[in-house]
Amino acid sequence: MSLPRRLIFAALLLAAPAAAQQEAPRPSLLPPPPRYMVSESAMKSVRNPKEIETESGGRLGVALVDGKGALILGFNRDERFAMCSTFKAPLAAAVLAGAEGGKFGLEGQISFAKADLLDYAPVVRKNVKRGRMSMEELAAAAVEVSDNSAANLLLPMVGGPEGLTRFIRAHGDMVTRLDRNEPSLNENAEGDERDTTSPAAMAGLMGRLIFRDLAPESAGKLRGWLNASTTGANRIKAGLPKGWTSGSKTGSCGTAYNDVALVKAPSGEEYILAIYLDRPTVDAKAAEAAIAETARAALDFVDKAQKTGLE
C-alpha cells in the first residue's frame, strides 16, 4: 500500500535542503514527486538525523526514493559527498545497458595481467592466472565484493569516467560525476567536486535505473548483485526494521562511509535509500552504527506511515 499523496513529510527529515538540481527532460522521468506529511506524534516517534549527525562529528546526507520515483524524505539531500565505491552500482547498470543496446555481450571476455591488480581485488586476483573474465563476472565482482580492479577493467567499456558520467546524465542525473578511476577517486579532498554525488541524486538515479529504465532482465541482474553484496552488513542492513530486506553498494574512502541500498518493505514496496557520512570524528565502528541508526529512523517512519495510514 502506497503512502497517501496528501501526506507531506515536513521539516524533520527535509531540513535545510540545498537548491535542487533541475533534471533534463527525458521520457523515462516521472512527474514531480508527491509530497508527504504525517502527524506531529509520528514525527516525534523517529529520531532526527541531525542528532545522529552531531553525535558522529561528521556531515550526514540522506535520501529515500520510492518505487514511483518520489523523493519522500531527505536530510542534506542535495549536498555533495564523495561517492567512493558507490559509483560501482551505476557502473554495473551502464554495463547492463550497453549489453541491452548491443554494444557488447555480457559474455565478452576482458583480458588482464598481474599489473592490473590493485591492492583490493579479491575476485580478479583469483583469476589472474586465467588472465580474463567476462563482463558479467566483472560487474558482479564490482558490486558484490567491491573489487576495485574489476571496476577499472569495466570502465573503458563504457567510455571511461567521462562515459559513465554521460550515461548518468542520459538517465536524468545532472549532479553525479565520475572523474577518475580506482584508487584516485577515493581522495575526497575537501571542496573538490570530482567523483561526487548527492544523496538525492544517487537515490533518484538508482531508482530510475532499477525501477524504470533498465530492461527487466538487466534490472534483475543488478538486483541480484546488490542482494549478494558482502560489504554492508553493519550499515543500512544493520538498521532494517523487522521484516525489511535490503541489498546495497557501500563506499568507503578513509574519511567517508557510504551506503546505497535497494530496500524492500514487508508490504513488498521497494525504495532506494542513500546514506552518506563524511569526515566523522568517531571510529569506523561508530560511523557504521550511525548509518544503521539513520536507516532505522527513516524506515521506521515509512513503516509506521504505511501501517497507520496517517493523514
pLDDT in tens, 261-289: 999 999 999 999 999 999 999 999 999 99
Q: Are strands 81-82 and 71-75 parallel, antiparallel or unpaired?
A: unpaired
> Is the per-residue pLDDT at 185 higher than 60?
yes
Q: How many domains does the chain have?
A: 1
Question: Which range marks the domain in which residue 116 is found?
Answer: 38-305
Does a structural domain hold residue 10?
no
Does a structural domain hold residue 179?
yes
Does a structural domain hold residue 26?
no
* pLDDT above 70: percentage of residues in the chain: 83
Does a structural domain hold residue 181?
yes
CATH (domain of 233): 3.40.710.10
Q: How confident is the model at residue 180 (pLDDT cuts 50, 70, 90)?
A: very high
pLDDT of residue 262: 99
248 classed as catalytic: no
Does a structural domain hold residue 159?
yes
Q: How confident is the model at residue 106 (pLDDT cuts 50, 70, 90)?
A: very high
Question: Which residue out of 85, 198, 218, 252 is catalytically annotated?
Answer: 85
Does a structural domain hold residue 3?
no
pLDDT in tens, 125-147: 999 999 999 999 999 999 999 99
Q: Name the DSSP letter for residue 210.
A: I
Q: How confident is the model at residue 71 (pLDDT cuts 50, 70, 90)?
A: confident
Residue owning grid cell 536507516: 295
Residues paired with 247 in a beta bridge = 262
Please compute the mean of the pLDDT values over residues 242-271 and round it to a whole number. 96
Q: Are strands 256-264 and 270-278 parallel, antiparallel or unpaired?
A: antiparallel
Question: 185 Cβ partners below 8 Å, 6+ apart?
Answer: 82, 83, 84, 87, 161, 178, 179, 194, 195, 253
Residues paired with 248 in a beta bridge = 261
Please give the grid coordinates belonging to residue 228.
549478494
Does a structural domain hold residue 105?
yes
CA distances for 176 relative to 79, 201, 206, 219, 262, angstroms: 11, 7, 11, 20, 18
Does a structural domain hold residue 300?
yes
